[in-house]
Amino acid sequence: MIKSVLQIERAKYAPKMPKALQGNVKIVIGKNTESVADQEEVKKLFPNTYGMPIVTLEAAEGKSDSQSKVLNVGVILSGGQAPGGHNVISGMFDALKKLNPNNRLYGFLGGPSGLVLHDYIELTSEIVEEYRNTGGFDIIGSGRTKLEENEQYDKGLEICRKLGIKAIVIIGGDDSNTNACVLAEYYLQKKSGIQVIGCPKTIDGDLKNEMIETSFGFDTACKVYSELIGNIMRDATSAKKYWHFIKLMGRSASHIGLECALQTQPNVCLISEEVAFNEQTLQQIVDDLVRTITKRAVNNENFGVALIPEGLIEFIPEMKILIEELNELLAEGSATSKAFIAIPTDDDKREYVIKHLSDASGKVFKVLPKGIAKQLTLDRDPHGNVQVSRIETEKLLIEMVEKQLSILKKQGIAKVKFSAQNHFFGYEGRCAVPSNFDADYCYSLGQTAAILIADGKSGYMASVRNTTESSDQWVAGGVPITMMMNMERRNGVMKPVIQKALVQMDGEPFKVFAAHRDEWAIHTSFVYPGPIQYWGPSSVCNAPTKTLQLEQFRK
C-alpha cells in the first residue's frame, strides 16, 4: 500500500481514552430501562433484551495478571461509510488482545451479507496496523444488506459455530443497530451462546439520544463540509457575482446543515424540520429566498451562500403528499403505470400525471421545472418509490428563484442581478481521515464493545458520554438497544425501530442559529474554518462539533 506523508504520520497517533479504559475495568450496573415509546409492543417483541440496565465502565483498583477466557469475535461494517470506522475495529482488536492474546477478531466482508454468505477474513495485527486512524471502511468493506429473516440469522449461526465466534459487533446506523437488536434477541431465544453488540455510526447525526451523545463520523464530515463551504464563501466574496446553492447530506434530519451553518454563518440555511413544523409550501421557501437575495442586492451584494439539506423535499407537506400520490399512481404493474409508460412524449406524460393527481398535488406538480418533474416520475427505487436523494433540490430552488425574480423584474418591483452555482457535498466527507475527536471516540467505542462482550452482554450499544470534557473524563458504558426503540410503519407494517433524532426547534443548537440567521442573511458574516487540524492547540484540534457543545452546555 502506497502511503501519503499524512497517513504515515497519522499512523503514529495514539488515540486518547477515558480513564476507565486505560487500565483494569469494572462494570457498574445502573437502572433498568424501557423503550422511548410503545413500551408494551416493544417488550412483547424483545422478551430477552427488553428492560436491561444501563452499564457503566469504571477504573478498577490494582492490577490483574489473570487472562479472560478465549473469545473469538466477528465484526461487520454496515451501511454508508463514516470517518472513524477503522478505529472502532482497531480499538476492539487491541482490547481483545489485551484481555487474552489468543483472542481472535474476524471481519465479515462487504457488510452483513458477509455473515450470511460466510465471506470473512481474520483481522491480524499486520492488517489492523495498516488502517489505524485512517478514513473509509475498506479494511473489510461495507454493505446495505438488512438482517431481517430467520434464514439469514441461521446462516450466521453456522459460520459462528464453525469459527468458534462467541460475539458479533455490528457497526452501523439506526437501521443496522435495530437489526443488531433483532439478531441478539433471536440468538438469545435460540440459546445459541452468540452475543451481539452495536456501535453508533452515521455522518447524518440522527442516531443520538440521552445516552448516545453523537454518532461517529458526524464530527469529521461536518468539518470537511464546513471547510469546503468556507472555501466557496471566500470565492463568493472575491468574485462578488454568484449565489452558491449547496446541498448537504442529511435525508432524514438536518443536523449536518445546522452544524455547518453554525461553523460558517451562511446567508441562508434551510432546516427541513422547521419547514415541516411551519407547514411551509415550496413557493413560500422560494419567496423567502427571493427576499434575502433582493435585500442583499440593495447593498450591492449580488452574491451569497445557501445551504440545503438533502431531504428537504420530503419535509415540505405538499411535496410529501405529491410524492405519496406519485408512488401510488406509478406503482409497478398498476394500470396507470402501464398507461404512463406507453405515452410517447414527456409533455404528454406530464399532462397525464397532472390529470390523475388530486387538484392540490396537480397544481404543485404543474409549477415544478420539467427536469425535476421528470425525475419524480422516472427515477424509482426497487420498491417503486421516488428516489428522493437523487432529486436535485438545489437546482429546483435556483430555477424557481430565477423565475420569481424575472416576474418581479417585469412588474418593475425589483431588478436584481442573479447568477447561481449549484453544488452537492456528500461523498466528500464520508471517508475523510478522522478528526482527533472521531479517532479518539471511535477507538473508545471499540474498546468498550470488547469489554461488554467479555462481560457477557448482548443487545447493547457501546456508549461513550461526557464527550465535551477532556477525553480522560469521558464515560464509557453500554445502553440496551431496546431503550431507543419505538414502533413505526415501514412498508405498510408496524415494526420496531430505533427512533431517529431530528433537529429540535427548542434545542440549543437551533435556537442559537435562529437568533443569528437574520443578521447573517443580510450582512456578509462568513467564517472560513479551514481544513481539519490534526496537530496544534487542543482548542483547535480536539474541539467537538458546535452542536455537541451547545447540547451539552445546558445539561
Query: Which cell is 132 given?
Result: 489505524
> What is the pLDDT, as a whole number, of residue 493?
84
Cα–Cα distances (Å) from 509 to 11, 85, 210, 467, 514, in that order, read 34, 26, 16, 16, 9
Question: Is residue 405 within 8 Å of 416, Cβ to Cβ?
Answer: yes
Of the candidates 102, 79, 103, 77, the residue with the CA atom closest to the CA atom of residue 88: 77
Dist. CA 121–CA 105, nearest whole Å: 9
Residues near 53 by beta carbon (within 8 Å), at least 6 away in sequence = 29, 30, 31, 32, 33, 480
Q: Residue 154: in which H helix or E strand, if any?
A: helix 150-163
> What is the pLDDT, as a whole number, of residue 414?
77
Backbone torsions φ then ψ of 138, nearest 5 degrees = -75, -5
Question: Maximum CA pair distance of the chain?
Answer: 84
pLDDT along the chain (555 residues), means of 10: 88 96 95 97 98 96 70 97 98 97 98 98 97 97 94 98 98 96 98 98 96 98 98 98 96 96 98 97 97 95 97 93 90 87 92 95 91 82 67 93 93 89 96 98 98 97 97 97 94 89 97 98 97 94 96 75
Strand partners of residue 25: 59
Going along the chain from its start, the domains and CATH numbers come out as: 5-59+68-217+434-498 (3.40.50.450), 222-430+507-532 (3.40.50.460)
> What is the pLDDT, as a whole number, of residue 381?
63
Question: Is residue 79 within 8 Å of 172, Cβ to Cβ?
Answer: yes
Q: What angle do CA 463, 468, 470 make, to 5 degrees?
A: 95
Looking at 174, 204, 219, 438, which residue is catalytic?
A: 204
The pTM for the full model equals 0.95
> What is the pLDDT, as a whole number, of residue 251?
87
472 catalytic? Reply is: no
- Helix, strand, coil % (nearest 5) of the chain? 45, 15, 35
